[in-house]
Amino acid sequence: MKISDLLTEDLVVTHLEGNSKDDIINSIVDLVATSPKVLDKEKVREAVFEREQIMSTGVGDGFAIPHGKTDAVSDIAAAFAITAEPIDYESLDEKPVRLVFLLVSKANMVGPHIKLLSRISRLMNKAEFREKLLHVSSPKEIIEMFKQEEATYFEG
């Protein structure tokens, strides 16, 4: 499964508003809830915040990957956002976050969930890719960038 297959233009935002980690998570959950794959927005929100309590998903270098597993989705659902302002996300490296990728999977989809988290992390580890994303102005361009980057890195 490709990251770019999970994202549609209505699930990508270039100026996500919010002043805190909780604001950003709430906003991106609201965004993913527009997907027909989301059956219960509040249960998705609960799963993402539960996971966040275990350890911050602010993985470093201005990137966060909030995620959760719940049967409140019919299939893997995702959303991507660039925050309007740098946000204190309690990141592991203590740097503010601007790039946020939300991934929500069914509870029984552990394998695909972990594989996608790994794939997203690998793409976002590239400083050049992160920098390019910050200068993109439309959801369409963002999805195109993910497609190109995935084609470079992964087969299938």
Question: How do the domains of the chain map onto residue ranges?
Answer: 3-153
Rounded Cα distance between 113 and 68, Å, is 9
Rounded Cα distance between 36 and 38, Å, is 5
Q: What is the DSSP letter of 135?
A: T
**Best CA proximity match to 7, nearest among 27, 35, 29:** 35
For residue range 119-141, list pLDDT tens digits in order.
999 999 999 999 999 999 899 99
Cβ atoms within 10 Å, residue 99: 19
Q: Which residues pair with 78 in a beta bridge?
A: 103
Token pair in block for residue 111 = 């394998």
CATH superfamily of 3-153: Mannitol-specific EII; Chain A (3.40.930.10)
The CA-CA-CA angle for residues 91, 123, 147, to 5°, reads 135
For residue range 82-119, list pLDDT tens digits in order.
999 999 999 999 999 999 999 999 999 989 999 999 99
Q: What is the pLDDT of residue 156?
A: 45
Q: What predicted TM-score, i.e. pTM, was given to this entire model?
A: 0.95
For residue range 22-51, list pLDDT tens digits in order.
999 999 999 999 999 999 999 999 999 999
Whether 113 is catalytic is no
Q: From the candidates 15, 67, 113, 135, give the one annotated as an active-site residue.
A: 67
